[in-house]
């Protein structure tokens, strides 16, 4: 048996631009997970990868090592009647797709063990949205999680301590060493966690536009392609969609407001809009990848049927109740979801059409209102945010505001009003409505 190489020698090799083998990468990731690599060594490794990159083989090996650094969920003992499916988004503003897609896929025969995260930077987090529901637990015991995935078909929870522990430590070090924006590290971080969930298929929603982490379409398409290829080589067929984030996906941003919007879609109160179109497209790809539909047309017909019948809404209600939330959330959301004491309509300085918006700035405005975290551990106000956000090319005037600000105080509303006007440009000319789904990249397991 070969003696393990010294970590510093492996770091040196990567620093000098050499490709690391699967065994070497496994040793480094094991050291990250068990603490035998110091923070200095983890930071040096991250910087070496950031500067020198990794080839496709290295990225696959890193992804698999992170996946295998802790528990890999095994669903075989539950005798599930359908495939285990999941979705992940690179994040955006007004992006509440997971709240709708998870129960929608469950209603179509899939099983969705969705392990989600909290808000990061200007983007909202699925867990923060769900915690706007009183009593909802994002940290259930394993037995409850598995039971809901089997019986309800969906459970959206937070990452457990046993799932991809190497990623938690590596990401924390990357966050403070200016090495976050590395394609191999981004891809292995996303996929290491997701593939540890024992999936039969995955769909990725890679955002592009002013509200995306990768705002250029070229960079977003590159990320989507690499994710799909690495995940499929790691054993999970994956489809990546490049979707638009040049304006908020939903007409609202803020945790309780977004839960309200999800309920409106699921219950049929609302049957149109960008959010529904993107969610429907992602869900159709997932049904096809999971062999629950033989064609896109069949997938869309099945999705429309389960939404219209109330089956998707019923799955959402059972998931919420099963994780400690109210049993009548769908019937009486206003009785359970917090409302801000100050709600103010913000109008443009002159009538016109919405020409462009800085979507990232809108997300940061929600964070500053208290709807996100300015530092780790900061408490979130679930009630604050923006609603009735105007769309690109929509006419705004004295009747139609740019948005409604939901704030904890008049002072907060004043500040948000100024920020909102600065983020949305109004003019006289028509503005082009962007394509919602820019590209679809499908990859099967080789």
438 phi and psi angles, rounded to 5 deg: -80, -35
Distance of CA 193 to the CA centre of its chain: 13
Instruction: Say how far apart CA 172 and CA 152 lie, in whole Å.
Output: 34
Residues 6 or more apart in contact with residue 249 via CB below 8 angstroms: 92, 93, 94, 95, 96, 97, 243, 274, 275, 278
Query: Of the listed 67, 88, 122, 221, which one is catalytic?
Result: 88
86 a catalytic residue: yes
List the catalytic residue out of 86, 200, 205, 244: 86
| Cβ pair 86, 202 in contact under 8 A | yes
From the list 182, 188, 189, 232, the catalytic residue is: 189
207 a catalytic residue: no
As a residue count, the chain comes to 446
Is 174 designated active site?
yes
The active-site residue, picked from 14, 67, 87, 221, is 87
89 is catalytic: yes
Query: In this structure, are residues 339 and 407 in contact, taking their beta carbons and an 8 Å threshold?
Result: no
Q: Which of 209, 191, 193, 236 is nearest to 85 (CA)?
A: 236
Report yes or no: 303 and 283 within 8 Å, Cβ to Cβ. yes
Q: From CA 158, how far away is CA 379, in angstroms rounded?
A: 17
Catalytic residue among 193, 221, 233, 318: 193
Strands of the 85-89 sheet, one edge to the other = 85-89, 201-208, 238-244, 437-443
Is 309 marked active-site? no
**Which among 422, 243, 419, 428 has a CA at the least distance from the CA of 354?**
428
Cα(193)–Cα(171) distance, integer angstroms: 12
Tell me whether residue 52 is one of the annotated catalytic residues.
no
126 carries an active-site annotation: yes
User: Packing angle between helix 56-67 and helix 165-175, nearest 10 degrees?
Assistant: 120
Q: Is 141 tagged catalytic?
A: no
Spot the catalytic one: 59, 63, 69, 89.
89
Active site residues: 86-89, 126, 174, 189, 193-194
């Amino acid at each position: 048996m070969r003696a393990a190489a010294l970590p510093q020698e492996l770091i040196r090799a990567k620093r000098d631009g050499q490709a690391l083998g699967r065994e070497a990468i496994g040793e480094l990731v094991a050291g990250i997970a068990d603490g035998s690599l110091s923070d200095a060594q983890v930071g040096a490794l991250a910087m070496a990868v950031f500067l020198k990159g990794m080839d496709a083989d290295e990225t696959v090996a890193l992804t698999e090592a992170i996946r295998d650094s802790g528990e890999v969920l095994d669903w075989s003992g539950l005798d599930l009647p359908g495939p285990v499916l999941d979705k992940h988004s690179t994040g955006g503003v007004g992006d509440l797709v997971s709240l709708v897609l998870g129960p929608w896929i469950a209603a179509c025969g899939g099983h969705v063990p969705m392990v989600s995260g909290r808000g990061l930077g200007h983007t909202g987090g699925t867990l923060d949205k769900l915690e706007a529901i009183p009593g909802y637990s994002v940290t259930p015991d394993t037995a409850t999680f598995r039971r809901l995935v089997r019986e309800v078909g969906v459970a959206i929870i937070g990452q457990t301590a046993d799932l991809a522990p190497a990623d938690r430590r590596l990401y924390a070090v990357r966050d403070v060493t200016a090495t976050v924006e590395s394609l191999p590290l981004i891809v292995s971080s996303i996929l290491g966690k997701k593939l540890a969930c024992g999936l039969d298929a995955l769909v990725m929603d890679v955002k592009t536009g002013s509200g995306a982490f990768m705002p250029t379409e070229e960079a977003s398409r590159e990320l989507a392609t690499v994710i799909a290829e690495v995940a499929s080589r790691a054993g999970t067929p994956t489809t990546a969609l490049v979707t638009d984030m040049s304006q908020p996906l939903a007409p609202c941003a803020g945790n309780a407001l977004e839960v309200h919007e999800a309920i409106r879609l699921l219950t049929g109160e609302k049957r149109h809009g960008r959010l529904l179109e993107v969610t429907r497209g992602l869900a159709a790809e997932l049904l096809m990848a999971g062999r629950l539909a033989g064609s896109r047309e069949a997938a869309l017909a099945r999705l429309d049927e389960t939404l219209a019948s109330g089956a998707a809404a019923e799955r959402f209600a059972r998931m919420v109740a099963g994780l400690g939330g109210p049993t009548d959330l769908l019937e009486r959301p206003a009785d359970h979801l917090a409302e801000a004491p100050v709600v103010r309509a913000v109008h443009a300085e002159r009538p016109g059409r919405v020409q462009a918006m800085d979507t990232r700035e809108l997300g940061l405005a929600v964070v500053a209102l208290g709807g996100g975290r300015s530092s780790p551990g900061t408490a979130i106000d679930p009630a604050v945010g923006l609603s009735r956000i105007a769309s690109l090319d929509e006419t705004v005037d004295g009747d139609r505001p740019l948005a409604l600000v939901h704030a904890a105080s008049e002072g907060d509303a004043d500040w948000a009003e100024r920020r909102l006007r600065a983020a949305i440009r109004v003019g006289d000319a028509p503005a082009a409505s962007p394509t919602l789904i820019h590209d679809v990249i499908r990859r099967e397991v080789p």
